[in-house]
Amino acid sequence: MNDCESMGNARSRRARRCTATEEVVPDAIVVSDAEEKSSSEQSTTSDNDEKMKNIPSPPTSSSDGGGGGMEDEYGEMTNDGHTYVHPKPYILESGEVLHNSQLRYMTYGTLNTTRDNVLVVCHALSGNASLHSWWGDLLGDGLVFDTQQYFVVCCNILGSCYGSTGPNSIIPGTTNKKYGASFPDVTVRDNVRLQLHVLQDDLKIHSVKCVIGGSFGGMQVVEYSVQAGTTNGPFTTLNHHGHTVPFIRSVLPIACGATHNAWQIAMSEVQRQAIYADSKWNNGQPSMDDLPLKGLSVARQIAMVSYRTAHGYESKFARRLKDDKAQYGSKAKWQVKSYLEYQGKKFLTRFDPVTYVKMTEQMDSHDVGRNRGGPQTALSNVYIPALILGIDSDVLYPLYQQEELANFYPKGELRVIKSDAGHDAFLLEQKQVSDYVTNFLNTLRDDDDYLSDGGGVNYGEQKVPHSKL
């Protein structure tokens, strides 16, 4: 158990109730002891009491105004789950090759006999495969991710530190040498393609009803739609008539765009610069045994500002101080300062700076139109239903990007989450997210038998000739 697993809060207590849901997976995907041992060597969040020293208690405030109370968006974070090991050398978009590529994933609920009652949920930058830890209020019997109705799959990300191949993994053919900063550049496209192999090759899923995710998870959803939401891509399936149809039947990206634009790349870069400024970054050659944790702490603090809003910070903290010893200057103990320091130091218990650099670079790779004629052209061929959720107060991924995304999809629709919480509203406003997702899922067909008369594919009410797919 890593340090952060002991940091319980109200959200993680709610999430733990969902773990009682029986997790049913085909016998063929049960992970062998050898695989578990191999994947366990990749964990970045091993016990480290030193990281927990001097972490202050969370700041308190007499006001609990907008911004979701600034509560932590994640519960218990572990590297639990099953492990998929890709059977061949995995060729990345860059041409580099990863050997023994592994992805950690979790499943919830029961796969039906037709193997098509599947929901795939993609996690954000610092998330993991344990869906119950960060969207616990949406998972369980009778909830939006209803484990009595659906087989829910959540995959970790290639390059992450929660059980999948990443900077903390041992380089195949070496004796305990980690990739570290030499870990290859992985794109969102690489990551989604490997997840699709998990779904089709390992879990033997026939088709997926919907792929859902927010932020970095939303970027993966958009990429899923191009790779597996058309009949032209490499991931298709056959319907009950034996005709080729998309493997993915609908998508629901939240709080993201068709590309990671200059504003978002700038936000990523300033966080990376905070890590580079730490002397332990060592000009891009950090020791995995002595990492630039101070830089990562500052990077996380920058991120926490971008995830929320001015209104949220003012409502929660205003100009309040922890004591009256100094009302301004270097000795002033601002509550907002205490909050940011707490968040920065707490993050060290569950993430490392090399992984953070690599993961933010992967986010910056997001461009669904790269080498596909641009985003609009790439998405114009995706005729499956697409519901896009935006957040009216999101300063990191502004609403205009979701409006644009909805327009790019032939069957795209936009709905808006109303919140003062900013970007993190996709995690914090679980009631609104739940209502939108539930309503969307209820409008979708429960099978992939989309073939209509005349040789076209019928997604809902829109008939699309094969020649246009």
Can you give the pLDDT at residue 14? 34
Can you give the pLDDT at residue 370? 98
Query: What CATH number does the domain located at 265-363 have?
Result: 1.10.1740.110
Q: Among the options 394, 420, 424, 448, which is catalytic?
A: 394
Q: How far is residue 4's CA from residue 135's CA, in Å, rounded to a whole number?
A: 17
355-376: per-residue pLDDT in tens?
999 999 999 999 999 999 999 9
Can you give the pLDDT at residue 124? 96
Residue 210: closest CA among 148, 147, 253: 253
Q: How far is residue 432's CA from residue 420's CA, in Å, rounded to a whole number?
A: 13
- What are the φ and ψ backbone dihedral angles of 247, each rounded to 5 degrees? -70, -35
Task: Assign domain 3-46+74-258+370-468 to its CATH architecture.
Answer: 3-Layer(aba) Sandwich (3.40)
Residue 50: closest CA among 286, 287, 274, 294: 294
Q: For the chain, how many residues are written?
A: 469
Can you give the pLDDT at residue 54? 46
38 included as an active-site residue: no
Assess contact for 181 and 284: CB atoms under 8 A: yes
Across 397-426, b (16+ Cβ under 10 Å) vs e yields bbbebbbbbbebbbbbebbbbebbbbbbbb
67-126: per-residue pLDDT in tens?
345 655 666 678 899 999 999 999 999 999 999 999 999 999 999 999 999 999 999 999
Sequence-separated (6 or more) residues with CB below 8 Å from residue 451: 239, 241, 243, 245, 457, 458
391-416: per-residue pLDDT in tens?
999 999 999 999 999 999 999 999 99
Q: How far is residue 48's CA from residue 176's CA, in Å, rounded to a whole number?
A: 19
| Structure confidence at residue 240 as a pLDDT band (50, 70, 90) | confident
Q: Among the options 101, 366, 423, 424, which is catalytic?
A: 423
Assess contact for 67 and 422: CB atoms under 8 A: yes
215 included as an active-site residue: yes
147-177: per-residue pLDDT in tens?
999 999 999 999 999 999 999 999 999 989 9
**DSSP H helices in 131-253:** 131-134, 188-197, 216-228
Q: In the 8-state DSSP scheme, what is residue 200? A: I
- CATH 1.10.1740.110 domain span(s) along the chain: 265-363
Q: Which two tokens stand for residue 331?
A: 């000795």
- CATH 3.40.50.1820 domain span(s) along the chain: 3-46+74-258+370-468
Q: Among the options 61, 130, 164, 215, which is catalytic?
A: 215
Q: How far is residue 193's CA from residue 195's CA, in Å, rounded to a whole number?
A: 5
pTM score: 0.84
300-314: per-residue pLDDT in tens?
999 999 999 999 999
Answer whether residue 320 shows pLDDT above 70. yes
Answer whether residue 13 shows pLDDT above 70. no
Can you give the pLDDT at residue 446? 74
243 included as an active-site residue: no
Task: Please name every residue paired with 251 in a beta bridge, in sequence order, or none if there are none.
Answer: 211, 386
| Structure confidence at residue 385 as a pLDDT band (50, 70, 90) | very high
275-306: per-residue pLDDT in tens?
999 999 999 999 999 999 999 999 999 999 99
